[in-house]
Every structure is written in structure tokens, then in C-alpha cells.
Amino acid sequence: MCWSAPVSFATLALGTAGNAAAYLFVRRSDPRGALILAYWQFTLQMQLVEGLAWTSLDRGVESVLASRAAMLYNVLQPVALALVVWGTGSAATRALPAVLLYVVLIGTEFSEVWAASASVAPAPGCAHLDLGWWSPGRAAVYVAASALCFLDLADAFWRAFHLALFLVTFVASVSIYPCGGGSMWCWTVAASGPATAAVHGVRRRRT
């Protein structure tokens, strides 16, 4: 993540606890709606491999294994999202084709992605890890495929909320942090569990 190994590991622990509590809370009245938290937890797992990458960098060495694990966690996020959306009982008529095209793009350029994933060390003048495998084109397809996955959620309320959560946190991280924006986004999603629980509570009181 952005600053250090302790922050990454603390974020993972707190975010996981928040997702688990939110899942238990939402599941009581909306079991399918709670499943989307599995996707947010998957994205949060980036904190583990980024924390390991920071640990190596703090020792003055580069962990290629941690860097490439970060890449795999990162590029597989739309795939995980499509599977979770499908698991909620949604038809996934847009999600599966969109993610298939995304996978084809990543597959055709995987040699470049693989080479770029040998290191996530911060670029000169940047304090955040550098997910250098994202070109503008790949990032655009990643966002588009993810957005289409959210649009396939059967529940209109969750569709709007989670799409907004994805887009707002993504745009904010890229806008606020001109370097390492991708890594910063994987950090901001730590609040997804509490945010999901909060809006679910408000929704229940109004119905």
C-alpha cells in the first residue's frame, strides 16, 4: 500500500473485521446482498501482498514473488467481481462477456504485464507502490468491465451503491494521488464494509 508495511497489515486486519461484521449484519435480512462483500474482501487482500512487498523493500531487497502476487490479485479483481455477481443470482449477461473481453486483453498483453510486475517499488519521487502493469488502455478496460459487472446486480439499490462506491473511490484515489493511484485505491476500499452496513441500516429503517 501507500506508506508502509504496518499500515498495510493494519488496514488488512481492520478492513477484514469490517467486512466480516458488515456481512453478518446485512445477511440477516438480505443474504444475496451481503455476498458482494466477498468482492471487496478480495480487493482488500492486496494489502497482504503489498505489506509483504514493503517488508522486503524495508530490508533493502526486492521481492519479485510479492510483486507478482500483487499483480495477480490486482488483475483478477474483475474476474472475482463477475463470479460474485453471478453468485448473487444475477444473470450476469453483461458481466461475463465484459470480463471475458478483459481477460482476452490481459492475455494478449500478458508478457508485458508479467515483465512490468517484477517490481512494485515506488517510482522516483513517489512514496507509494507503483503498479506499473497498468497502461491507460488496460486501466480503462478494467474500469469498464468492473462497472458492467456492478450493473448486472439484480437489486437496483445495491447496483447503484456499489457502482458509486467503486467509481468514487477509484476516481478519488487517482485524482488525489498522481503517483501510485492504483495502490491507493486498494487501500481506500477498506471502508467498503462499514459503508455497506451503514447504507443497509438506513435502507431498512426507511422500508
Determine the Cα–Cα distance for residues 185 and 4; give it in Å rounded to an integer: 15
Whole-prediction pTM value? 0.92
pLDDT of residue 98: 94
pLDDT of residue 171: 87
Other CB atoms within 10 Å distance of the CB of residue 61: 9
Q: Which amino acid type is present at position 86? A: W
> What total number of domains does the chain contain?
1
pLDDT of residue 2: 60
Full pLDDT tens readout for the chain, 207 residues: 467 899 899 999 999 999 999 999 999 999 999 999 999 999 999 999 999 999 999 999 889 999 999 999 999 999 999 999 999 988 888 999 999 999 999 999 999 999 999 999 988 888 888 899 999 899 999 999 999 999 999 999 999 999 999 999 888 888 887 777 777 787 788 899 999 999 999 988 876
Domain span at 81: 5-206
pLDDT of residue 173: 82
Estimate the share of the chain in helix, then strand, then coil, as percent rounded to the nearest 5: 75, 0, 25
